[in-house]
Structure 1
Amino acid sequence: MKHAAGTLAFIARFVVLGLAVAFVISLIWPGVGDRLRSRFGLAAPTTTAATSISRTSDPVSYADAVARAAPSVVNIYANKLVTEQALRMYSDPVLQRLFGGQPAGPAYKRREQSLGSGVIVSSQGYVLTNNHVIANADDIQVLLYDGRVAKAKLIGADMETDLAVLKIEANNLPVISIADQRAIRTGDVVLAIGNPLGLNQTVTMGIVSAIGRQLSSSSPEDFIQTDAAINPGNSGGALVNAAGELIGINTSLIGKAANAEGIGFAIPVGNAKKVLDQLIESGHVVRGWMGADYTFVPIAADSGLPAAARGAQVTDVYPGGPAAQAGIQIHDILLRIGPDDIVAPADLRRHEAALKPGSKIEISGLRNGSPFRTQVTLTERPPQTPTALVD
């Protein structure tokens, strides 16, 4: 027994001695282990850290994306004359609260300037921006990335999407690259480039917080939601992906007045491109209209509808409108428009708006639980009041 114990102790001392020698050799010749493994045909071990590094594809810096996109983003200075009336305030605080003040002398005019951003989308000088940036302006100046200043002409504006198209006369304009809208995913890194608070070219970073965000039940438009910082002056600027390609036009934010932080919205580039093309072609946007309002399908226990019912329920039919002429009634549940299923009210709005006035389309659905179908001839959608958001 003593002999066995002595043998084990002898072996243990040599093992410890061997490990110590190997440690010293590895310190003196760091690559000796790899060379020996290579000589005897053994593979080098893979560490977890190396594996995790090889899996990531995120860039360390987004400077290349900014360098590609920033030259196409411009600052917009819209000037207009505002008429104001001087007031003489009441000395009594109660009267001040009730009436404010009395006119004091003739009205006077002053020049007001609003700040915003825009994106050069064509070598012909077309610039996309927000309608509210240039609304009622009598003089619009555009400051380019390279310091040039150009006077802009308004080509057309669309209040419903809050988009406007300007045209400038200049040579060698940097045109932004447009991304494939279908490739946008929630969680993608995005960069907002614009002129916040008049600070000129500023870049903020965030992610796509949501896509297809609906801000008004009466509008067919949807938005990209992002937590990239958007401030007054960013309106009309570019929202780009990590490759520096345009994915949206920054348009609005829900600010701290609503106890919100990191909630901004951009118009998807696909929607903006459609508006751009129509404004260049005719100066206004034409949308199809069915003449009805609708909402989500209510799910009642005795409705007989599946728990995940889709479609849109009619809440109002405008007298004399296309829906009324086609016999569509309040409480009808609309399930298909032409060959396409209606997923939700917003989906029906988009299909309806995309059709040209005069188009005849088949609508099918349920009325009091029984299937029905009818033909609707669309007319042009009347002007709508745009959604008001903090900006």
Structure 2
Amino acid sequence: MKRLALSILSATTLALSSSFAVAKPPLLSMPKADRIVPDSQLQVQLSYAPVVKDTAPAVVNVFTSRTVRTRSRLSFFDMMRDMRRAPTERVQNSLGSGVIVRDNGVVVTNAHVVKGADELRVVLNDRREFVAKVIAQDEEIDLAVLQIDTKGERLPTLSISEDDSLEIGDIVLAIGNPFGVGQTVTSGIVSALGRTNVTDVSSFIQTDAAVNPGNSGGALVNLDGRLIGVNTAIFSRSGGSNGIGFAIPGELVARAVDSAVTEGRIVRPWLGARTSAVDSALAATLGMDRARGAIISEIYPDGPADKAGLKSRDVILSIDGSDVNDDSGLRFRLATLPLGSSAKVVFMRDGRERTKTIKADIPQEIPARDERFLDGYHPLDGATVVNMSPALGEEINVDPYLRGVMVLSLARRSAAYSNGLRPTDVILTLNDTDITSARQLERLLIAAEDSEDWSLSIDRRGKIYDVPVRYLPRAN
């Protein structure tokens, strides 16, 4: 389970007291006929058991194991004798929860539950065990899709709720395996919607239904027995439930599952524009009445925003009728769009609201990645470099707007490593020549192998550095 100050997973149970009596409001004032406040002792004693019986069989336990290698500490006498001890191996086990969303054995859980696992086992509510494999995972939205071999048997499933009818105050049930004690059901309410300050992509459902370590990947269901979210994180200083839990909304879960099953990977549409949240000071400068929306600072050529006619300094206010409050909310809304669909974007330009239609498309691999291992008598010996593209940026979780040639990996004790280069560095110039492709870089290195003087500049997280070349490969 993850920990942040936000520790991965949380919440508190909802208790209805028999003394809680409120006069029923007039029917016309109720937002929906199926949402009522209990007005009698009989209604207070109503049970959630029918919902649990329908939903619990589709919630599973996910057990993972991985081999961890550790080096034993050397004693004083070992160091005196220049002795080394072989690494020791141990198997590390962890657990989480999951939800069956296809009757042929497709299971959705959190990416952090299965991260680094050598072996995955899914245990059903009836205690049957299956070996599972990962179809696809996306660490940024913290979702993973698994497949188990059911030998043709159809399993119980939960249907995913993709509509926007969820409201603050709705009663919800959390089902999972906290602390490994076995399947557990807790109840609570939806405390808030659209929480975007937890990660960069999701717009979380906040709930006070008690969830704890082990609930990760479990189900958050409504009283219709539909999956409205996958429990993923808690806000907690102690690591236990403090009544603030977060769940990934069903609409994002549905898109991730569809993408994994059809594409073999989780793909998320992108805007093709760099954005940031509009604060109150910027809102006043732009003539807006309050802080809202996401302002475009950079447009990627031929990306969806460019093709739609959006421009730098446009402020995106909504997508398909859903308000956008910041750039995290914007990325979430885009991620929930079906690939290839069109969406109406309302934005502000020059003090006026306008509308454009944008097509939901994925980042493209332009230019082609052209991954190359650099080998020779030069300062980049041992580096693997690649052409940057939006698709590669999304794949390896780096800025998709980076352009040029990036260091993908480094061989240990290589010249490139010794010269201080690190993965994700972008090579800007070599011997005062601008670098535009991995192929060009390799040719320049080969042509200059007899050189005595080298100059190299890189971009590291937005800062430009001149790299002092001090090491070259050892001569054979």
TM above 0.5, one fold?
yes
Matched, 1:125 2:124: no
In structure 2, the residue matched to 1:293 is: 275
Tell me the CA shift for residue 71 of structure 1.
1.1
Structure 2, unmatched stretches of 5+, are: 1-20, 25-37, 77-81, 364-389, 399-476
Q: Given the alignment, which residue of 50, 54, 74 partners 1:64?
A: 50
Matched length: 324
Residues 50 and 278 of structure 1: is their aligned pair in 2 closer, same or farther, counting only changes over 3 Å?
A: closer
Residues 232 and 258 of structure 1: is their aligned pair in 2 closer, same or farther, counting only changes over 3 Å?
A: closer
Residues 281 and 53 of structure 1: is their aligned pair in 2 closer, same or farther, counting only changes over 3 Å?
A: same
For 1:313, the aligned partner's letter is I
Q: Secondary structure at the match of 1:280?
A: helix
For 2:206, the aligned partner's letter is Q
Matched, 1:193 2:175: yes
Bigger Rg over Cα = 1
Deviation per residue, 1:233-267 (Å, 9 max, x gap): 11011111234332111111122248982111111
Deviation per residue, 1:302-322 (Å, 9 max, x gap): 6472423643223x4377684
Tell me the CA shift for residue 148 of structure 1.
0.9
In structure 1, the residue matched to 2:204 is: 223
Matched, 1:305 2:278: no
Structure 1, unmatched stretches of 5+, are: 1-47, 91-101, 387-391
Q: Could you tell me whether the CA contact under 8 Å between 1:141 and 1:150 is conserved in 2?
A: yes
Q: Given the alignment, which residue of 337, 342, 349 partners 1:366?
A: 349
Q: How does 1:24-63 map to 2 (within 5 A)?
A: 53=39, 60-63=46-49
Tell me the CA shift for residue 273 of structure 1.
0.8
For 2:194, the aligned partner's letter is G
Q: Given the alignment, which residue of 162, 176, 194 partners 2:158?
A: 176
Deviation per residue, 1:251-286 (Å, 9 max, x gap): 111222489821111111121011000011112122
Q: Given the alignment, which residue of 253, 256, 261 partners 1:275?
A: 256
- What TM-score does the superposition give when structure 1 sets the normalisation length? 0.69
For 2:349, the aligned partner's letter is L
- Give distance in 2, aligned partners of 1:197 and 1:276: 27
In structure 1, the residue matched to 2:315 is: 334
Deviation per residue, 1:164-205 (Å, 9 max, x gap): 111112224221244464232111121111111111111122
Residues 131 and 343 of structure 1: is their aligned pair in 2 closer, same or farther, counting only changes over 3 Å?
A: closer
Matched, 1:110 2:90: yes
Deviation per residue, 1:106-141 (Å, 9 max, x gap): 212211111011111111111111111111212111
Q: How many percent identity over aligned positions? A: 36
Q: Given the alignment, which residue of 234, 239, 247 partners 1:253?
A: 234
In structure 1, the residue matched to 2:132 is: 152
Residues 86 and 287 of structure 1: is their aligned pair in 2 closer, same or farther, counting only changes over 3 Å?
A: same
Q: Secondary structure at the match of 1:261?
A: coil
For 2:135, the aligned partner's letter is I
In structure 2, the residue matched to 1:84 is: 70
Tell me the CA shift for residue 287 of structure 1.
2.4
